[in-house]
Amino acid sequence: MGLLSHKARQAPSNATAVYVRHRPETTLLYQVVQEYWPEFQAELASNGKYLPAYVIKEFDEYLKCGKLEHGFLRVRCDSCHDEKLVAFSCKKRGFCPSCGARRMADSAALLVDEVLPYQPMRQWVLSVPFPLRLLFASNPKAMTGVLGIVYRTIATQLTHKAGFTKPMARTGAVTLIQRFGSALNLNIHFHMLILDGVYTGGTSGLPLRFRQVKAPTGNELTKLVHTIASRVARHLERQGLLERDAGNIFLSQEAVDASDEDPTNQLLGSSITYRIAVGPQQGRKVMTLQTLADCGSDQFTTRVGNVAGFSLHAGVATKANERAKLERLCRYITRPAVSTKRLSMTRNGRVRYELKTPWRNGTTHIIFEPLDFISRLVALVPKPRVNLTRFHGVFAPNSKYRARVTPASRGKRKNPQSADEADQTPAEKRASMTWAKRLKRVFCIDIEACSECGGDVRIIASIEDPAVIKKILVHLDDTASSAATALSPDCRASPGTGPAGRAIGLA
């Protein structure tokens, strides 16, 4: 779905915001990619390196995302017959801000409405050392094994803290694997939404009961992250992927040799270690802008454990009745990798990216050469068929407790011949919330209602033939040119004024 205009995003919750089609070609991110993506590929080719097909497809599809020239839907109001054009989106998972915003809102609403129960939840954030970040990016199978170890360690801690043993109690988690850091660096880490307690009972006809536990202390987190680090290191050593030396961990020669076969691994390594990936400055640290460091109290001194490059934070929690806070938390951990608001150009043509919050040393901005900026985007593209959302414990797809604890009874086997299902309408059988409803829920914008008369809007055609696309857009351009002669050069037409202004995008 196209990103909204600033006016639409800032609309008060009790007002109906105006939806404005996102025009990607006007954003700095799109302009930089459009100009330097071919040059970046040529730079790699000159050194005998070529990117994988899935990375090339990610960039090519992004350059088409939200552009009417590459196809659109025609939607029409049933009452006043006002028409709009809805551009297609790329639906990629790497760096597209528009599709990332759609996925953020969609995932958060899904988790809150259908998966996470009305119980206290806590966010556990695990960061890993640099060598493991490169390993996880190049070997997703190894990341899956490690994530299982992390969940079992935390679940065991919660069970024992509640005064039970593993057969007597069970918990659950939803893990969002986040691939980026605040400086557009590759930083694979785990955001785990875990029940802040355990379920007991559920067998021999007994009802499930939830037992909440106290928040973890700093000492408990330190012991816990030490256990995680030891178990992960032993597991990866047995797999032949890791070596330890005097408390430090390194990728084994077998893992290094396997990773060398992927031409993107040099770009991944540079992104992880904040170094320049291409050009004459290759290997040097990226340029930063700094201010005076904050000498105040550190916001991460409590409920955080640090051991051997592993960091475990558990300072954010929600109560059972704080569903709005839980949804905001879900949006935060599923947010897009790139914020176009924080992206700008310097006078000498470099890309400047503002950090969301200054680092402890006072760093506020990262400065990239354009080609190095493209390399950062390349590193953010995940491999195909790697699931970035994982379910554990009572939320796992094969858990017999899933249907009993989730709000939507997910996992429950329904009898197709039941009377309740027979009485359902076709619309009720499609239980998932439509994207239009999610858009209204998050941004207070209703795209199913006509902005002119308030009537129902529906899709009447999908336009994909290049000849038909060109004919329609030429007609709209001619109409817009005629209407623009009566407007001041500084005046911007309303999205609902004139045929050319009646376009919304699903980019």
358 within domain boundaries: no
359 within domain boundaries: no
Residue located via tokens 């879900």: 330
Q: Output the six-digit token pair for 474.
A: 């030429």
Whether pLDDT at 315 is above 80: yes
Q: What is the pLDDT of residue 11?
A: 39
Verify that 223 and 117 share a domain, yes or no: yes
Q: What is the pLDDT of residue 505?
A: 37
Handedness of CA 262, 267, 273, 276 (dihedral sign): positive
Verify that 145 and 225 share a domain, yes or no: yes
Whether pLDDT at 495 is above 50: no
Are 326 and 121 a contacting pair, CB within 8 Å?
Answer: yes
Verify that 225 and 249 share a domain, yes or no: yes
DSSP per-residue string spanning 423-435: T--HHHHS-SPPH
**Average pLDDT score over residue span 352-369:** 91
Verify that 137 and 192 share a domain, yes or no: yes
Q: What is the pLDDT of residue 499?
A: 34
Verify that 50 and 143 share a domain, yes or no: no
pLDDT, one tens digit per residue, over 131-148 is 899 999 988 999 999 999
* Rounded Cα distance, 500 and 441, in Å: 28
204 within domain boundaries: yes
Count the neighbouring beta carbons within 10 Å of the beta carbon of residue 491.
Answer: 9
* Rounded Cα distance, 180 and 359, in Å: 16
- Predicted structure pTM score: 0.82
187 within domain boundaries: yes
Q: What is the pLDDT of residue 254?
A: 62
Q: Output the six-digit token pair for 109.
A: 């609403």
Are 211 and 162 a contacting pair, CB within 8 Å?
Answer: yes
Q: Which of the residue ranges 6-10, 17-21, 150-154, 384-388 would you say has the lowest mean pLDDT?
A: 6-10
**Average pLDDT score over residue span 108-115:** 91
Verify that 44 and 168 share a domain, yes or no: no
Q: Output the six-digit token pair for 359.
A: 């680092």
Nearest to 345 by CA among 15, 17, 28: 28
Q: Which of the residue ranges 1-15, 307-321, 411-425, 431-445 would you say has the lowest mean pLDDT?
A: 1-15
Q: What is the pLDDT of residue 364?
A: 92
**Average pLDDT score over residue span 148-157:** 96
Q: Output the six-digit token pair for 253.
A: 């020669």
319 within domain boundaries: yes
Q: Which of the residue ranges 17-31, 294-308, 318-332 would you say has the lowest mean pLDDT?
A: 294-308
Verify that 86 and 133 share a domain, yes or no: no
Mean pLDDT of the chain, nearest integer: 81
88 within domain boundaries: yes
pLDDT, one tens digit per residue, over 167-219 is 889 999 999 999 999 999 999 999 999 999 999 987 776 788 999 999 999 89
Whether pLDDT at 100 is above 50: yes
Q: Which of the residue ranges 47-56, 325-334, 389-398, 410-419 would you say has the lowest mean pLDDT?
A: 410-419
**Average pLDDT score over residue span 24-37:** 94
Whether pLDDT at 36 is above 60: yes
How would residue 296 be classed by pLDDT, with cut points 50, 70 and 90? low
Checking 148-154 for CB contacts under 8 A at 24+ apart, the result is 148/392, 149/228, 149/231, 149/232, 149/235, 150/126, 150/190, 150/192, 150/228, 150/232, 151/175, 151/192, 151/392, 151/393, 153/224, 153/227, 153/228, 153/231, 154/124, 154/192, 154/194, 154/224
Verify that 258 and 168 share a domain, yes or no: yes
Whether pLDDT at 417 is above 60: no
Q: What is the pLDDT of residue 492?
A: 33
Q: Output the six-digit token pair for 224.
A: 């816990």
**Average pLDDT score over residue span 449-478:** 82
**Dihedral (Cα; 314, 318, 324, 327), 10-degree rounding:** 40
**Average pLDDT score over residue span 304-309:** 84
490 within domain boundaries: no
Residues of the domain holding 119 = 103-276+300-335+381-405
Verify that 397 and 253 share a domain, yes or no: yes
**Average pLDDT score over residue span 412-441:** 52
Verify that 116 and 35 share a domain, yes or no: no
282 within domain boundaries: no
pLDDT, one tens digit per residue, over 467-491 is 998 888 888 776 655 554 443 333 3
**Average pLDDT score over residue span 437-445:** 59
How would residue 411 be classed by pLDDT, with cut points 50, 70 and 90? low
Q: What is the pLDDT of residue 481?
A: 56
Q: What is the pLDDT of residue 500?
A: 34
Verify that 245 and 314 share a domain, yes or no: yes
How would residue 316 be classed by pLDDT, with cut points 50, 70 and 90? very high
Percent of the chain exceeding pLDDT 70 equals 77
**Average pLDDT score over residue span 495-503:** 34
Q: Which range is most confident: 357-361, 413-417, 498-502?
A: 357-361
* Exposure letters 168-183 (e unless 16+ CB within 10 A, then b): ebbbbbbbbbbbbbbb
* Rounded Cα distance, 6 and 476, in Å: 25
Count: domains in the chain: 2
Verify that 120 and 221 share a domain, yes or no: yes
